[in-house]
Amino acid sequence: ELVLKPERGYSGKGVRVGGVNPDGDDAVALALQEGHYIVQERIPLKMWAEEVPVFDLETGKVELKQVQTDFRCLMGPEGLMGFLGRFGGVPTNVGSGGGVQPLAVLRSDMTVRDGVRRINDAILETPPGDLIEAVELQRDLALEHHFSYLLGPIKICLRPRLLSPAQMDALGNYCAALWLDCLKLEKMWIAGELNGVIQIEEDELQIARMQPWGGSAAIIASDGLFSFGANPE
C-alpha cells in the first residue's frame, strides 16, 4: 500500500493513505489533477501506534485509545537539539485534528512497554475530578501561552511518550548523519546533479543560489514514524 502526498503542503492537507482512504482511484486522480505529488510506501500503522488514556469531559470516563504517533527531531550544527511528539489519526498533523504529546526519558531498567503500561494504569485509576483538573489546566495553559493552531487550542496528550537513553543516543546519531546528508545534497544540487529531481520556480532558484547554506547555523526538522517499543503487539 502507498501514500500520496503533496511536495509542498501543511497540516496533512491532500494526503491520501492506502487502507485509510479506501478510494484509490480518487487518490490517484487528485494527485494527477493537482500535480507535484510524492509517492511513498506506507509504513504499517501498528508500527507507529500507541495506546494512550483519553478522558471524555462530557461523560467523565477515561479509556485507552489507540492513536498514531509521530516524532520530530530538531537538529543544528552541534547535533540533536530537541524533539516534538504528536499523536492523532492519519495524518497526525495538528491541522488535521491531531495534538502534541509530552516526552519523557525512562531511566529505570524496565522496558518502554512496561513503563507505558504503568503510566496508563495509573491514569486509568485516577479519580475523574483529578483528571478534569489536569485537562482544564492543559487547556488553560495552551490559551495563556497562545499554544493554538488552525483548529484552536492544541490538544495535549495525558500521557508522555517514553524513550530510553539508548534510543536518545541512536536519535543523536541519526540527526548527525542527516545533517551530513543535507550538506552533501546541497553540493549535488549546486552542481546541477539534482535538476531532474528538484523543480522550483526560477525566481526561487535565483534567491537560493545567491547564498548557499553550506552548513551554517540553522534548525532542521525531520519527522519520523518510530516505534520505541510500546506499539501494539
Note the pLDDT of residue 38.
87
| Cell representation of residue 6 | 503533496
Which domain, by its residues, includes 202? 167-217
Same domain, 34 and 104: no
**Per-residue pLDDT of the chain in tens (233 residues, 90 and over written 9):** 888 888 877 777 888 888 788 788 888 888 888 888 888 888 888 999 999 999 998 898 999 999 999 999 999 999 999 999 999 988 777 777 789 999 999 999 999 999 999 999 999 999 999 999 999 999 898 888 888 877 678 889 999 999 999 999 999 999 999 999 999 999 998 888 988 887 778 888 888 888 899 999 999 999 888 899 999 98
Q: Could you tell me whether strands 37-41 and 16-17 are parallel, antiparallel, or unpaired per DSSP bridges?
A: unpaired
Does 5 share its domain with 120?
Answer: no
| Residue 221, pLDDT score | 95
Are 181 and 105 contained in the same domain?
no
- Check whether residue 19 and residue 67 sit in a common domain: no
| Cα–Cα distance for residue pair 133/136, rounded to 1 Å | 5
- The radius of gyration of the chain from alpha carbons, rounded to an integer in Å, stands at 20
* Side chain identity, residue 89: G
Q: Do the Cβ atoms of 68 and 92 come closer than 8 Å?
A: yes
174 and 81: one domain? no
DSSP secondary-structure letter at 228? -
Cell of 32: 494527477
- 54 phi and psi, to 5 degrees? -120, 125
Give the pairing of strands 161-163 and 103-105: parallel
Tally of structural domains, the chain: 3
Measured in whole angstroms, the distance separating CA 25 from the mean position of its chain's CA atoms is 27
